[in-house]
Amino acid sequence: MSKLMSAIKVGPYEISHRVVLAPLTRMRAEEGAIPGPLMAKYYAQRTSKGGFLIGEATIAAENGNGYLGAPGLFNDSQIAGWKLVTDAVHAKGGKIFLQLYHAGRQSNKDVQPAGSIPVGPSEVLHGGVAYTTEGWVANTPNRALTIAEIEGLVESFRAAAKRGVAAGFDGVEIHGANGYLFDQFLQDGSNKRTDIYGGSFENRARFLLDVTKAVISVWGSDKVAVRVGPSGNWGDMSDSNPEGLFTYVAQQLAPLNLAYLHLIEPRIAGNIEDETKDQAPVASQLIRKHYKGLIIAAGGFNGDSAEAILNAGDADLVAFGRHFIANPDLPERLRNKQPLNDYDRPSFFGGTDVGYTDYPTYSEAKAA
């Protein structure tokens, strides 16, 4: 019996298998950061009966974007577009969590309101790119947030979580990885603050924990999750003691009784598999010692390696990104050990239905 294909309870929900659609930034939202019918079709295609999906990174505050075409829930006008998505998923018997994010310093003034300067925990020069009307461009050097602004962002996430209820989501995941704002606060390569949000593990984790508790106040703990990337260096991220830091974060999240903790394995840099890191998953193995709740592992998995990490007990579900992009029926293909479509990397970010909703299922490909 395949553990990957066995049922599991995620929060209050009965999930029929453990193949999860990872949150994937595809940048197909319409003007106003509003999801449209194309996005609804994309998520519906990747929904299986009893399946679990995590929506793409969704902007929680007006100044939180780093990518033209990313969807938002920072104002009420975006609710109806997301309702198209959640209705499409529910119609096929799936569950979907909203992923809320803030890009922080990973941004450019051209995707900021009124061309304002991106924000972060500290003014630290860094590389990285944002996506604007000019395509991929260098990030604009950021300014440091004030304490009042940080407190305001906590309330922005609480408000976005409430809109998620209205939009019909089944829960919320807070994106604390990939070099975005929460990650910038967590890691000391980007956080040089000397106030209550900098220095110690406790201070650097404060913003993430405050937002997590704010979202729990809306949804209840069993419908809230957090994503982190231990040892992730995407976006010029670094920390002097990553093992200690992320162990602390896991220990602080554990008593909150979350739906799950979502971990990104460091063998993936952005969306590129790091060929120098031919290794077994290490993030989940570390965190499992300190976190006994549900863990979703992500990062470079195939059917065999997913089965292996589940059987080892280091994770409970596995999120697939690139393979789920190219194979809308991925759970069935893995169940039946069918060959997978190749993915087209150039169409990952932005564009049309090409490389988005035009990948065939196994039966469609066979019939063609």
Catalytic residue set: 180
Taking a C-beta distance cutoff of 8 angstroms, is the pair 344, 355 a contact?
Answer: yes
Nearest CA among 235, 169, 242 for reference residue 201 = 242
Count other Cβ atoms within 10 Å, centred on residue 108.
Answer: 25
Count other Cβ atoms within 10 Å, centred on residue 198.
Answer: 17
DSSP letter (8 states) at residue 273? E
Strand, coil or helix: 13: strand
Distance CA 70, CA 358 (A): 20
Distance CA 260, CA 253 (A): 10
Taking a C-beta distance cutoff of 8 angstroms, is the pair 235, 178 a contact?
Answer: yes
Distance CA 360, CA 368 (A): 9
Give me 195's structure tokens. 């106030």
Taking a C-beta distance cutoff of 8 angstroms, is the pair 101, 180 a contact?
Answer: yes
CA atoms within 13 A on the CB side of 256: 27
DSSP letter (8 states) at residue 293? S
Distance CA 325, CA 348 (A): 8
- C-alpha dihedral, 49 to 94 to 281 to 300, nearest 10°: 80
Residue with tokens 């996005």: 39
Determine the longest span between alpha carbons in the chain, in angstroms: 63
Identify the burial level of 92 via C-beta atoms within 10 angstroms of its C-beta, where 0-12 means exposed, 13-18 middle and 19 or more buried: middle
Nearest CA among 18, 24, 43 for reference residue 303 = 18
